[in-house]
Structure 1
């Protein structure tokens, strides 16, 4: 049998095309793995940077970092609403490094919050005691942390309005100041209550958490999955008045950090209760936020700012959302949420850390507190550093962080 030169060349060419196609397909299949490994290296480098920054700054800090000014921490002596995040960051540094010095610093800092256990003047008790005392209990087994956190939960539920089924956000009890005001942030205070029920067996804490989450879902969630920052109720009757805002652009806008609090908070409440409506809410909030992200993957401060997509950023919204998305991916089995979290984290680690600054006290830059009031514009906050570290640990050390934050 003879084969013509033309047939031979054709066959050889076809084989080359087949081999080339196979090689290309193999390369394309390997590309996500290469990119994932590159991201993991970046994440490890970023977490190392965060731990090193804490090691350098912690010895001189005897109060609670609140916000940077010219890259240096300013402080709130009583902790304000952010006091739990500094000891929380130290606990996470201890979790990652197992350096006993971080444990010592975390204990010293968390103990300074002790007077706030009986504070009934704010709903931020969860922010204060969950990353500091609850995490301290989970990492050390010291029951004094547990008992103090349960006492704090008892203070928080005193702010519950049974007629409106909500936890009042601001204002001292017994005063008319903001007595019917609820904010999306409070979804993050609810896990302190679920912890208290878990530890004591008393359902009163969980009952309040569930009622508040149900009210938030009913009145904050818009048909498109966005949320306002604030919703007002008549405190005497519990009747709804309507949406409002404090840190968002307007009552009809969508403040990105508030949306992130909602994603994280509703996912957590689903894990604690298995109520399908909470999972549905978390997914709808996430889907809206992911569609609203700009191509650089860093949230702007309000998704409906009239200057979008060219307004100032809030990297803290990004790291909070990344934590929530990783959690949501786990409970839904939808990898797309995990992949989205990795894209956000990758972008933040590449463009928002203070690695090029020799004077910065903080780790995460480009966070915004209140663009509407023109305060805290693209600076650093302790909650930004904390949730950055938590998100990185969710990727790099999932078992360890699960123990620390109760996943």
Structure 2
């Protein structure tokens, strides 16, 4: 198979393979380049692994200090997930062993019904473990239990999965929650339990109706009346202001609807992903290297606003999300549109694979990427490495590697 042309084939494996159309693209990144980045990332994460104690999960590295969480934090699945992707990309068994060790302390979260983030926590970790090891007896029960814990947060009145249980909200749903739907759809197709699939579709359809503005930018938080299901508030929690387009939120939306098209074949989800991509890629505030500022509307913040002295910060975590999502979206579209998505993803990968975004070996606490922003309005995780930035960067590299090897870009947890 030539590098200048590849055809992605539809594999009918238990009916859960993505819808893909034969595309002709010209990959401009070589196998050597991709392998170099994966090898470097593997070496870097070993530095982080040496500092990570049992039962702790990396969050970030701030002011020269590691910040860890317990397994119940929403980011807990990204570290073992990144180790697993790097094992896939390098075949280093030591990475699989490190990931498996971390999973032993994460398993108990399968019973956690107090969070909407079980997709991040369990699918990015145990889902990848199942896919790479094929150990169905060990991992399918964990994933099934976790998916049902997530499904317990669904309301047939709002037709959504509740995000937070804190604050003054009645029934808050954040755009981030689109990312947890893959957990439900994939487990549903493995176990045959249609309930989880139907919940995911319902949530995606309701979010499509209520979360987006006319320009296809997304609100961060929609608050629903829990008795009527009506949207009663459209807010932000991590963006600049309620009507702004928080950069990572747009990434959650882009990735989420691209993935939901793959999972459901519903054309409205593909159209939504295309429109979100158009908003991001045509935005005049998107820098040339395609690593966005933390909020697309950061220039609308008054210069006198003391809350935002660092309003010009980039968010590498958003860029990593864009890269992975655009690679996949290029497979479901045609002609120049597909080429544009693919080429833009390549630009982001080039940008993230060098300074100032790629951390020097042994620095940055062992995190692969630097210069992400957690929540600027909350003064939380400002211009630091973030575990999920590393995860989606490595995921994008592995997806690209699969294409160069003539394999399907997206691989299912089913065998």
TM category, shorter: 0.7 to 0.9
Aligned residue number for residue 270 of structure 1: 261
User: Which structure would you say has the larger RCO, counting Cα contacts within 8 Å and 6 or more residues apart?
Assistant: 2
RMSD value, Cα? 2.3
Question: 1:315-373, CA deviations, whole angstroms, 9 ceiling, x for partnerless residues?
Answer: 00001111110000001131110111111111122230112664532111011000111
Equivalences for 1:146-157 in 2 at 5 Å? 146-157=140-151
Please give the alpha-carbon distance, in whole angstroms, between the structure 2 residues aligned to 1:113 and 1:357.
26
Shift in alpha-carbon separation, 1:222–1:168, aligned structure 2, 3 A: same
Aligned residue number for residue 90 of structure 1: 83
Q: Which runs of 5+ in 2 are unaligned?
A: 1-24, 302-309
Please give the alpha-carbon distance, in whole angstroms, between the structure 1 residues aligned to 2:311 and 2:149.
42
Please give the alpha-carbon distance, in whole angstroms, between the structure 2 residues aligned to 1:294 and 1:118.
42
Contact 2:61 2:364 in 1 (8 A): no
Shift in alpha-carbon separation, 1:401–1:128, aligned structure 2, 3 A: farther
2:113 aligned counterpart, secondary structure: coil
Aligned residue number for residue 396 of structure 2: 391
Aligned residue number for residue 12 of structure 2: none
Aligned residue number for residue 15 of structure 1: none
Q: Which runs of 5+ in 1 are unaligned?
A: 1-31
- Between structures 1 and 2, the one with greater helix share: 1
Count of matched residue pairs: 371
2:332 aligned counterpart, secondary structure: helix
1:231 aligned counterpart, secondary structure: strand
Please give the alpha-carbon distance, in whole angstroms, between the structure 1 residues aligned to 2:383 and 2:199.
35
Question: 1:216-247, CA deviations, whole angstroms, 9 ceiling, x for partnerless residues?
Answer: 10011221111111111111111111310100
Please give the alpha-carbon distance, in whole angstroms, between the structure 1 residues aligned to 2:409 and 2:64.
29
- Residue 250 of structure 1: CA displacement? 1.2
Aligned residue number for residue 333 of structure 2: 332
Please give the alpha-carbon distance, in whole angstroms, between the structure 1 residues aligned to 2:233 and 2:385.
32
Contact 2:184 2:196 in 1 (8 A): yes
Contact 1:229 1:247 in 2 (8 A): yes
Aligned residue number for residue 359 of structure 2: 354
- Residue 211 of structure 1: CA displacement? 0.4
TM-score, L = length of structure 2: 0.84
Equivalences for 1:1-400 in 2 at 5 Å? 36-37=28-29, 41-61=32-52, 62=54, 63-143=56-136, 144-171=138-165, 178-292=169-283, 293-306=286-299, 311-333=312-334, 334-350=338-354, 351-355=356-360, 358=363, 360-398=365-403, 399=407
- Residue 401 of structure 1: CA displacement? 6.2
Please give the alpha-carbon distance, in whole angstroms, between the structure 2 residues aligned to 1:214 and 1:389.
29
Question: 1:17-67, CA deviations, whole angstroms, 9 ceiling, x for partnerless residues?
Answer: xxxxxxxxxxxxxxx98x924x76544332221111122332442210012
Q: For the pair shown, which has the larger CA radius of gyration, 1 or 2?
A: 1
Please give the alpha-carbon distance, in whole angstroms, between the structure 2 residues aligned to 1:65 and 1:79.
12
